[in-house]
Amino acid sequence: MRTKSVGKKKINVVTLGCSKNVYDSEVLMSQLKANGKEVVHEDKGDIVVINTCGFIDNAKEESINTILDYVEAKNRGEVEKVFVTGCLSERYKPDLVREIPDVDQYFGTRDLPILLKHLGADYKHELVGERLTTTPKHYAYLKISEGCDRPCSFCAIPLMRGGHISTPIEKLVLEAQKLAKKGTKELILIAQDLTYYGLDIYKRRALGDLLKELVKVEGIEWIRLHYAFPSGFPEDVLDIIREEPKVCNYIDIPLQHINSELLKSMKRGTTHEKTDALLAKFREKVPDMAIRTTLIVGYPGETEEIFQELKNWVREQKFDRLGCFTYSHEENTGAYVLEDNIPQEVKEARVEEIMEIQSQISWEKNQEKIGMVYRCIFDRKEGNYFIGRTEYDSPDVDNTVLVAAEDTYISIGEFANVKITSAEEFDLYGELV
């Protein structure tokens, strides 16, 4: 029996991993739609494209399990073709081809035009800035660069994403304008390293220049910064955060650790003293700024004494937002030559200790918010509550503001002023004012 042509097939794009992958999937979907293809995101389709993550062991396991699930669906006749793209495919293509040969084709992180060809589509250069967003329409990720030039010893991202390439300011402004016309109100700037933005194309750190242009985009009301590297952080950005109402008083700056010896082994280009000085500068320049960070525990050589230093530092700094991960021993990274000498159960116990400290800090900070009024944007309704966020909170990773829906109606994607009436560790409850 003859099958239908590729052009009449529904293409299902499945996204795993970080917000950078979300962005890449949205670009892929926009290209497919412009080629007249029927495309869905994480729904039923005849052809499946899996955008994988290969960052750490848990992410790799999730990606492999997802591939296997769809290969089994293919073998049962439920889907016709399975394509795999993204970081896992970039990093482990020979192994994947050997171990999971039933996948129709594997593609790397920069193979979009080739992937499109296999899907019966052409890459359209005129679509720069066009995306089929998979987030709620009122917020969107804006990827300002690709790849990374940093030498961090624990990180495999340069192996998967290549070197740093900044997207020119004019292209990003155009993309922001197109998003705003579709109803986007909040831009979340993402990159492997925001701090490095512009060095390759402008020969200077140009994040501040980009922000000055993005705030001019009509319809954009919040701009949020994610994934800034601490070493070489451009201090003019702090002035813009403080002075420009559209730029949220918020920054995500993954610090990873505080012990100077470990930071040196991690090749982070900083020390305990320099990190403290940078955080002091943040708080001096923007006293109202929420600082989000992530930490790694269980890195080779992290003794109990070094871990105690980390715990004491977390207590001292009182970060507004904090995530903590166990060290993952990644082949071909600088740290792979070191002995992964801390048992997994010890790593996991250390994560729990850090998050217990942070939970108490978060609870104390949230208690201080009771009685305060915040401008919030509302993302969704769940059960009996409308779920919103302040400018100090990024979607999916930070605190939420809950407003009871019984006698109140709030339009999703709209802003409203909320008075906080009670608070837990990671949730605030309030009422409209």
| CB contact burial 322-359 (16+ within 10 A = b; e otherwise) | bbbbbbbbbeebebeeeebebeeebbeebbebbbebbe
376 a known binding residue? no
Nearest to 332 by CA among 157, 133, 163: 157
248 a known binding residue? no
Asked whether the beta carbons of 17 and 87 are under 8 A apart, the reply is: yes
155 a known binding residue? yes
**The residue count for the chain:** 433
* Both tokens assigned to 291: 């600082």
324 a known binding residue? no
Whole-angstrom distance, CA of residue 211 vs CA of residue 244? 9
Pairing mode, strands 10-15 and 47-52: parallel
87 a known binding residue? yes
Asked whether the beta carbons of 220 and 174 are under 8 A apart, the reply is: no
DSSP 14-37: EE-SSHHHHHHHHHHHHHHHHTT-
In one-letter notation, the amino acid at residue 276 is D
Whole-angstrom distance, CA of residue 251 vs CA of residue 316? 19
* Both tokens assigned to 281: 């500068």
Residues annotated within the binding site are: 18, 53, 87, 148, 152, 155
List, as residue ranges, the binding site for [4Fe-4S] cluster. 18, 53, 87, 148, 152, 155
